[in-house]
Chains A and B, each alone.
Chain A
Amino acid sequence: MGNKQTIFTPEQLDAYQDCTFFTRKEILRLFYRYRDLAPQLVPLDYTSRPDVALPYELIGSMPELKDNPFRQRIAEVFSESGDGNMTLDDFLDMFSVLSEMAPRDLKAYYAFKIYDFNNDDYICKSDLEKTVNKLTRNELTPEEVSLACEKVIYEADLDNDGKLSLEDFQHMIIRAPDFL
């Protein structure tokens, strides 16, 4: 298909193709999307592996993420530094995991990290409360939120430590066919 693009070396493109679920065209398209967010910051030549990270505000303004209530957590989880500023690698990684081709286990792993607001590798009750509030835009009363979270922990916690670990979460998600 020999396109004469000069953004990446062929080895870089091959590496991206092997490590993400995208084809060459899609990777280039994503690069252009990345660049459109800040044309003055992102160089057109990635062969020298420049160290460019776009701030979270730009990432969060993308149409796919703009109205997503979890956009901050998504950016934090996928960014290398954990503060939402994403390099091109993080950007590609994020879209690769969120795409339809990614297997469920991988998505479940990242979903767990997204829902774990305090980064303690457990989804505890406060994390759940924050999740429910973000899902419903604070429309539920605090009693209802609390009740819902307790029921969730009761239903999903297998080893009875009061929190959901990654295994509990994965076990439950396996049974949910609609998990995207």
Chain B
Amino acid sequence: MSQLPAFTLRVPENTESDGQEPSPDNEGALHSSFCELIEEQSSLVAGAIEMELQERSREPSALLPPLDPMATAGLEPKQGEQHPGYATTLRILANMPSHTIGRSRGAIISQYYNRTARLRRRSSRPSLQQLSHTARPSLRQYDLESDPTNATLADKQSLLAKELLSLPPAQRSQVLLEVPLSLEEKRSLRRQLSQRRSTPGLRVHSSEPTSPCAWCQDCIVLGCRTLWYRFLALIHAAQPWHYALKQISGRFGSSVLSYFLFLKTLLLFNIISFLLLLVFVVALQAAYPPAVASPRPFTGLELLTGAGSFTHSLLYYGYYSNTTLNDPSASSPSGSTSPSRATQLPYNMPLAYMFTIGANFFATCILLMYSMYHSFLKSYRVGSSTGVLAIKIFSAWDFKVVQRHSVKLQSENICTQLKELLAEQRLRSCPLSLPQRLRHITVLLLAWLLALGTVLGCVVAVYYFSELMHMVQQKQGAAAGSVWLQEGVLLALPFVVSLLNTLMPHFYNLLAAWEKQDSPEAEVYVAICRNLLLKMVVLGLLCYQWLSRRLVCSAKECWETCVGQDLYRFVVMDFIFTLLDTGFGELLWRLILEKKLKSKRRPEFDIAQNVLELIYGQTLTWLGVLFAPLLPAVQVVKLLLLFYIKKTSLMQNCQSPSKPWQASHMSTVFITLLFFPSFLGAAIFVSYTIWWEKPSETCGPFRGLQTIYQTPKVWVELLEESNPNIAWFGWIPQYLVENTVFLFFLTGMVLAVIYFNIQVLRGQRQIICLLEEQIANEGEDKKFLIQRIHCIYDDKVHCA
């Protein structure tokens, strides 16, 4: 700050009281806007009487709260005893620049005027002396009136309109939408803007040159915006399940809604995968079906086992041909069944298959990262995590809930949460004794050991069960049993795995009830951790078995189709067990509670478990896309059915959740879980299969090759043979993808970007701490000034 004049108070000669506390003359520079203001007010203090204090009806609470532990020593007016100059001090405080923001319209307009000016200039804050009068109207608000006269208001409005005009149109419309004025004022502002725009003479004052280009640009942008509005309107009309979701959120709140939104997201992913695969792989193969042995008749069992008549169908890998379809030069193996077509476009099926799968994963990856980014933006905030109680009071109310009974329940929930928080804070002030803490830690350790032990036990059980099934199958293969029994045996392993996946979460719930964690959020995290661990470890074992093919699909020639069938069975079994779980867990439990136990309580919708089931099902689909290209379609059907079944069960059987649930935070966690173990694991599995596994000799689009990955190389060689000019194309995979230096470079770049972001975050946190300190210091300054004013007033009163 530049040099400011020494501050002299108009006080009488005897200023002994100054000796007791530091006088303002010794302090550093004061804020210059306070100078004039305090001079003005101290001259008014002598003649001021109570001004409209009764109208304001403030509580006679202490200005500095007696319970504030940060209160420094000073003149603290006791409760009930008011300082005579109190009312005036309050008026001064109320009219301080920072506190008039948000009160009067003039203040809002001024504030927004400043903001837009800053937006336009984007320069550092200019020093106070250099500012012209019109640039900082907020400093001019020295009047004691709370509402400025109409003339000043109109002036301020026209100032704001002028500033807005010099902004680019996109920002202008954004500011117009976000300024917290009433709709009428916004409309009048908008009218002013359009008036000014149409009369270009007035724009001479603005710094932007008036050129036909700028005007054209404006028109184009405005036209685009209207088109965008129309497009948005269409999209909103086309939202599926809009009313159903509103019903659910109206009765159960945003926590349960987040599950259904997650289901909608998964549905979107699967529909995109399905469309990609349909257009590029399935439809074309369906148009040119390969010659196949006489298919078995359709029995109902195929829907469950995926074998039988489904084996040699579009559903599985084995059906797809490894030649170029509709190749005009070669004698097509499918020539006998293909209808005579006018088009002669050859279509390289193996290449298409591989690239479509790759594009599918790539698109899913991009979409997932985008969802994660969006979700993260909404839920993560840089800064400390204090202020739990305040945040709870102001953000706990879920405004989506509209039904009376649910509203009453929500009130009870908030009541319980507040009581718990207060009790917890009281507890924190008196922590547990040592033996209690030890006991608590041992209980936690035991619970975790038990959980890990059960995971290990389940894995071992699945392993031995699959060995058993393998032996049974071999015996059955030797002895020709009925088709039904043979196929039924195939269902045993998925049955057992799904059973474990359904029963273990309930066991973990019991464990959590015994454990009694500190906070409900910790409970949810621990439950998610344990269930996810179980599911992923079991899936890991199954993947290993599929790849090694020692126990599963060992005898089959076309192992990819076999693995695809296995995955299909897992998906179907998972669906059946979800239905059973909904039926028993919710419907039956409600009936028992109502009829037998005669309690009013109903079962609750366990959000974490249901979301983890969805993630598990989606992982299976991603694992199986390579081996069964129509698996996303199966998943789409499954998700559609699941939506309606879950919604019906929810409406009939469940009650509103009683545990606190941070909806946006948990949505981010779920999307991250979908990406990190689920999608990445599936991507690694598929990459491994493409890079290292030898495809089977007799079926599928990659028969005869060493690995699936060789397909593009073969194609590039073919290209080079046919046309030597494009030999450079072959260099791309060789130097980019296989070259380890390039991959290291890429990884290095990604790591550098992550490191940079971490440093930026760290810097932001530091700045936030500094700014908070600064605000606290300003508060101290204010207190000091108030005390000085009171001193002056007392002196004057004593002198007079």
Q: Which residues of A contact B (CB under 8 A)?
A: 1, 15-21, 23-26, 63-64, 66-70, 78, 80, 89-90, 92-93, 96, 98, 103, 105-106, 109-113, 115, 118, 120-121, 124-126, 128, 131-132, 135-137, 139-140, 144, 147-148, 150-156, 158-162, 165-167, 169, 172-180
Contacts and interface: CB of A to CB of B under 8 A. Distances in A.
A90 B233 contact: no
B394 A21 contact: no
Interface string B411-426: 1101100110010010
A176 B394 contact: yes
A160 B64 contact: yes
B102 A109 contact: yes
27 contacts: A15-B190, A19-B186, A23-B232, A23-B236, A25-B233, A68-B399, A78-B182, A121-B94, A132-B418, A135-B393, A137-B408, A153-B65, A155-B390, A158-B775, A160-B64, A160-B68, A160-B779, A160-B780, A166-B102, A173-B394, A173-B395, A175-B387, A176-B381, A176-B395, A177-B379, A177-B664, A180-B395
B414 A136 contact: yes
Contacts of A160: 64, 68, 70-71, 776, 779-780, 783
Contacts of B414: 135-136
Contacts, number: 210
B58 interface: yes
Interface string B386-414: 11111101111111101110011001101
A178 B237 CA distance: 27
Given A16-B183, A165-B99, 20 more contacts: A15-B191, A18-B177, A20-B177, A21-B177, A23-B229, A25-B233, A103-B178, A125-B61, A131-B393, A135-B393, A139-B412, A140-B419, A144-B419, A151-B425, A155-B388, A159-B779, A162-B68, A167-B98, A173-B395, A180-B399
Given A19-B190, A25-B237, A158-B779, A148 B389 contact: yes
Interchain residue pairs A-B with the least CB separation, the first 4? A159-B779, A23-B233, A136-B415, A93-B183
B415 A140 contact: yes
B663 interface: yes
Nearest to A15: B187
A21 B178 CA distance: 10
Contact of B183 (A89, A150, A179): A89
Contacts of B186: 19
Nearest to B399: A180
Nearest to A179: B395
B25 interface: no
A125 to B, nearest CB: 6
Contacts of B178: 103, 105-106
Nearest to B90: A120
B402 A17 contact: no
B782 interface: yes
B184 interface: yes
B782 A159 contact: yes
Contacts of A176: 381, 391, 394-395
Nearest to B236: A23
Interface string B92-131: 0110001101110000000000000000000000000000
A92 B402 CA distance: 19
Nearest to A159: B779
Nearest to A166: B102
Contacts of A158: 772, 775-776, 779
Interface of B: 56-59, 61-65, 67-71, 93-94, 98-99, 101-103, 173, 176-178, 180, 182-184, 186-187, 190-191, 229-230, 232-233, 236-237, 254, 378-381, 383-391, 393-400, 402-404, 407-408, 411-412, 414-415, 418-419, 422, 425, 662-665, 772, 775-776, 778-780, 782-783
B65 A162 contact: yes
Nearest to B396: A135
A154 B390 CA distance: 9
Contacts of B393: 128, 131-132, 135, 148, 152
Contacts of B396: 135
Nearest to A151: B389
A162 B190 contact: no
Contacts of B378: 177
Contacts of A132: 393, 418
A142 to B, nearest CB: 13
B65 to A, nearest CB: 4
Nearest to A12: B187
Contacts of B56: 120
B394 A115 contact: yes
A7 to B, nearest CB: 16
Contact of B418 (A112, A144, A162): A144
A19, A63, A105: which has the most chain B beta carbons within 10 Å?
Answer: A19
A37 to B, nearest CB: 16
Nearest to A14: B226
A124 B394 contact: no
A139 to B, nearest CB: 4
Given A112-B102, A124-B61, A161-B782, A20 B399 contact: no
B61 A19 contact: no
A165 B388 CA distance: 18
Given A15-B187, A144-B419, A177-B378, A67 B404 contact: yes
B422 A125 contact: no
A162 B233 contact: no
B184 A159 contact: no
A98 B59 CA distance: 31
A89 B407 contact: no
A180 B398 contact: yes
Contacts of A148: 389, 393, 418, 422
Contacts of B70: 160
A179 to B, nearest CB: 4
Contacts of A21: 177
A67 B402 contact: yes
Given A15-B190, A23-B229, A139-B412, A150 B65 contact: yes
Contacts of B415: 135-137, 139-140
B638 to A, nearest CB: 29
B54 to A, nearest CB: 13
Contacts of A169: 394
B65 A144 contact: no
A160 B230 CA distance: 49
A25 B778 CA distance: 49
B176 A18 contact: yes
A172 B391 contact: yes
Contact of A172 (B176, B191, B390): B390
Contacts of A90: 182-183
A121 B776 contact: no
A174 B94 CA distance: 24
A178 B178 CA distance: 20
Contacts of B778: 159
Nearest to A131: B393
Contact of B422 (A78, A128, A144, A165): A144
Nearest to B66: A162
A179 B671 CA distance: 20
A115 B221 CA distance: 39
A93 B178 CA distance: 12
A148 B191 CA distance: 47
A20 B233 contact: no
Contacts of B63: 161-162
Contacts of B403: 67
A112 B100 CA distance: 14
Nearest to A91: B183
Nearest to B383: A175
Nearest to B391: A176
Contacts of A89: 182-184, 187
